Amino acid sequence: MNAPWEVLKLLADATRLRLIALLEREELAVTELQEILGMGQSRISSQLALLRQAGLVTDRRDGKRAFYSLRDDSGPHQRKLVQAALDAAREHPDTLKDAATLDLILTRRRQVTEQYFNLIAGRLGKNYCPGRSWEAIGHFLLLMVPRVTVADLGAGEGLVSQLVARRAEKVWCIDNSPAMVEVGTSLARKNGLANLEYKLGDIEEVPLADQSVDLALLSQALHHARRPQVAIREAFRILKPGGQIVVLDLKEHAFEKAHELYADVWLGFEEGTLHGFLRKAGFQHVEVNTVAREAEAPHFETLLASGTKP
């Protein structure tokens, strides 16, 4: 851990403090930080390197892109210094301007994903989708319990929910695409599934009450989340004690065109990363396994994860 005066010296620089204020709110790519701060890549990268060396921020690679976020495991004294500096700069014009630009960038992120899914609404089950195979879905279905209340988070048109609803007591489908909600609701009505209901909402802010469902499903939705760990925590919140989460998603890969072709935010997840998300959210008896590998390039692999709320 760095000495307090070393941390204070780092926080005394306006650029570094602006970076910390932004990363406190959201994990951001260097290109996004350039856009917000109006600075060159080399200047921002050098400041981030200092913050990373001091243990104030952390980074991760996603293909060729680097994302930075504020560390949440620093010591209490260091956190107090950072928080005091952020509070002091909260109303500064530069900080307020940065926050406004960040809001625009986050809105743009959501619009890119929403536009993609609005475009393919009504065709999702017919078009190719990475990681969506009947083999993987078969494994997924094996973990489902009948006659329970289910939340399908990031449901899309409700391919999984349409199957689950035939046995479940109640199924809530949550999706942030108005077009998907409309198509899914129409399909549920057409198939006579009165116990299947759609709600427009984000998987990172699920419009369901605490401890209201028995089973939370995330089928190929997590890699579209801006903050997948927040989506996992939301699933934990809405589950009753003893409830179960089941996640079907892509294993980490290097097919960067997925960002453009499928509006993917993440290039899948390592087994250890997904396991960590569930454990950190509070789930017990966590299991993560690779259950399918596609025969054709880029050979997407599918992970199946589960956990129980104590």
pLDDT at position 5 is: 80
Residue 277 CB burial class (10 angstroms; 0-12, 13-18, ≥19): buried
Per-residue pLDDT at 143 exceeds 80: no
pLDDT tens by residue, 9-40:
888 899 999 999 999 999 999 999 999 999 99
The least confident of 70-74, 81-85, 267-271 is: 70-74
- The closest of 189, 183, 174, 254 to 221, measured between CA atoms, is 174
Task: Grade residue 167 by pLDDT with cuts at 50, 70 and 90.
Answer: confident
Per-residue pLDDT at 120 exceeds 70: no
**Distance in angstroms (rounded) separating the CA atoms of residues 286 and 275:** 7
Beta bridge partners of 293: 301
Q: Which domains does the chain have, with CATH numbers?
A: 4-120 (1.10.10.10), 134-308 (3.40.50.150)
pLDDT tens by residue, 83-109:
888 888 889 999 999 999 999 988 888
pLDDT at position 183 is: 92
Per-residue pLDDT at 77 exceeds 70: yes
Please state the rounded mean pLDDT for residues 106-131: 72
pTM for the whole structure: 0.67
Looking at mean pLDDT, say which of 69-83, 117-131, 271-285 comes out highest: 271-285
**Distance in angstroms (rounded) separating the CA atoms of residues 231 and 221:** 10
pLDDT at position 142 is: 44
Residues of the chain with pLDDT > 90, as a percent, come to: 63
Q: With beta carbons less than 8 A apart as the criterion, state whether 288 and 237 touch.
A: no
Please state the rounded mean pLDDT for residues 215-231: 95
